[in-house]
Amino acid sequence: MAIGTKKVEGKPLNWAERTYVPEIAKGLGVVLKHFANNFVRENDTVTLSYPEERAPYPERFRGAHRLMLREDGSPRCVACMCCSTMCPARCIHIVAGESPNPSVEKYPVVFRIDELRCVMCGLCVEACPCDAIRMDSGIHVPPVLERNDAYWGRDYLMSLGAPSIAVQGGKWRHTPPNEEGH
């Protein structure tokens, strides 16, 4: 089936609308109304003395990335490439290598995130099967003067992380419902 087009005729503008004077007056009226409200109710205006005072972040705030650690201090990442595959901005670069630990098959020799390209969507966190990457640091990505400073490497991301208590390959346990059926 072919897609058709429909031509819509616009209403012609009168002389006042062509000068834009009424629209400019309406815009100035909105500005003056807000100015008057803020001037009269100055005690109701909320001002924070940032950085001494900080506004509370929403519960689901996505801060800077961090790599979680195992008990021995090595990264939890097993270089499965799920996070870099899922990333819509293609800002995660991983190079895998053989792990010296016999219980871990691979580890990231290179794990780099370009924070300038990252869109803070959180899909990398959702895609990670081993709880290796998180965005719950509560830290904003700081401004940088050089592009190379926006590339965060494995060691820096690990310095932001902490040992994770999640069990890799954990077993699913069925818990019986309580008396109410929940």
- CATH for the stretch 66-160: 3.30.70.3270
For residue 166, the 8-state DSSP code is P
Query: Buried (b) or exposed (e) across 126-147, using 16+ Cβ within 10 A?
Result: ebbebebbbbebeeebeeeeee
For residue 44, the 8-state DSSP code is G
Give the pairing of strands 92-98 and 151-152: unpaired
Q: What is the pTM of this model?
A: 0.65
Between 161 and 179, name the one with better pLDDT. Answer: 161
Residue 136 is predicted with a pLDDT of: 85
pLDDT in tens, 58-113: 888 888 999 999 888 889 999 999 999 999 999 999 999 998 888 888 999 999 99
| CA angle 138–143–74, rounded 5-degree value | 55
Q: Is the peptide bond before 51 cis (omega within 30 degrees of 0)?
A: yes
Q: Is 61 helix (H, G, I), strand (E, B) or coil?
A: coil
Residue 151 CB neighbour total at 10 angstroms: 17
Tokens of 123: 């899909």
pLDDT band at 156 (very low <50, low <70, confident <90, very high): very high
Sequence spans of domains, the chain = 66-160
Residue 67 is predicted with a pLDDT of: 94
Q: Is 167 exposed, middle or buried (0-12, 13-18, 19+ CB in 10 A)?
A: exposed
